[in-house]
Structure 1
Amino acid sequence: MRPRTQQGFTLIEVLIAILVLGFGLLGFALLQTMNVRYVQSANFRTQATNLSYELLDQIRANRVGAAFYLGDYTATTSNCSPPTGKDIAKDTYMTDWRCRMGKSLGEGAKAKVSRAGTLYTVQVTWGDDRWKADAADTTFSASTRL
């Protein structure tokens, strides 16, 4: 009598292989979701950094009128049209800046320009965590001396 040799896979082996593959794919999907989340956070930080330094450059370029930039600003996305012409008034520039802040960081974004002696500071605050409604806002701060 010849011994029987097994050929093929048993059903339990196939089910275990599918289960292992399923867990692997689930882990990969979670990894991708976290990646999207962190990329969005990095994008917000980059936008806040660029907006802060742009406003500080504007303040440095207009040293005589630097005090006019002091105050609190809220982001907006209404009445957003880019300024035209060679000479742009401070109010027109700040309206455009607030619009760009609203479009890149969201309507809830805020900015504050303060001064301590010759040190001007721009703080930009925005809601970084879209998945948690009660999460604390993120703030980026940049300073310059005039």
Structure 2
Amino acid sequence: MKMFMHKQKRQQGFSLIEVLITAFIVAFGVLGMAALQLKTLQISHSAYQRSIASVIATDAVERLWGNMAMDTPLTSDKLQQEWLAHWQQTATNQTLPGLNLSLINTAGTNTYVITVSWGEARFGANDVASQFSYSVDLYPSIGGP
């Protein structure tokens, strides 16, 4: 009977190694989730900045249309200066650090190239330059010259 009792050893609980391996797997999973959350925040902020850049470019198109309707239209350089001054004085300019605007008129046409650029140094040591360029054709009104 002693021989039979010896073979019936029962496990009483988890070993320390099993607990450490489980803790390591859980910690690795939580670290992965934190990295995923950080990347999501970075991409979301970048999308927000691109939306602001799109609004700034749309404002330039509206200024161009308004300029065409004026009796004495401004030159492209003067229009660009006013446009840049407006957006640099706007309180929301903090969302686009290093904002730079460019308005180029193709000579002799109503085609304009609008460029909005800014720096994204917030998420790393390297300053990443982001830029949007839009090309727009402004056609004169039917009753115009």
Give the TM-score of the pair, scaled to structure 1.
0.74
Give 1:99 deviation, angstroms.
2.5
Contact 1:56/1:143 (CA < 8 Å) preserved in 2? no
What residue in structure 2 maps to residue 47 of structure 1?
A: 52
> Does 1:105 pair with 2:105?
no
Any residues of structure 2 matched to 1:1-146 within 5 Å, and which?
A: 1=2, 2=5, 3-63=8-68, 64=70, 65-68=73-76, 91=82, 95-100=85-90, 102-106=93-97, 108-116=98-106, 117-146=109-138
What residue in structure 2 maps to residue 76 of structure 1?
A: none
Change in Cα spacing, 1:68 to 1:16, as seen in structure 2 (3 Å) is: same
Q: CA RMSD in A?
A: 2.3
For 1:72 and 1:60, the matched residues in 2 are separated by: 13
> What is the aligned-residue identity percentage?
28
For 2:103 and 2:85, the matched residues in 1 are separated by: 15
For 1:142 and 1:131, the matched residues in 2 are separated by: 26
Q: Which runs of 5+ in 1 are unaligned?
A: 74-90
The structure number with the bigger radius of gyration is 2
Give 1:67 deviation, angstroms.
2.5
The amino acid that maps onto 1:128 is E
- Runs of 4+ aligned residues of structure 1 deviating over 6 Å after TM superposition are none
Give the TM-score of the pair, scaled to structure 2.
0.75
Q: Which runs of 5+ in 2 are unaligned?
A: 139-145
> Which of the pair has the greater relative contact order for Cα pairs under 8 Å at 6+ separation?
1
Give 1:132 deviation, angstroms.
3.6
Aligned length: 127
Contact 2:119/2:130 (CA < 8 Å) preserved in 1? yes
Give 1:70 deviation, angstroms.
5.2
Change in Cα spacing, 1:72 to 1:132, as seen in structure 2 (3 Å) is: farther
**Which has a greater percent of helix?**
2
Give 1:17 deviation, angstroms.
0.2
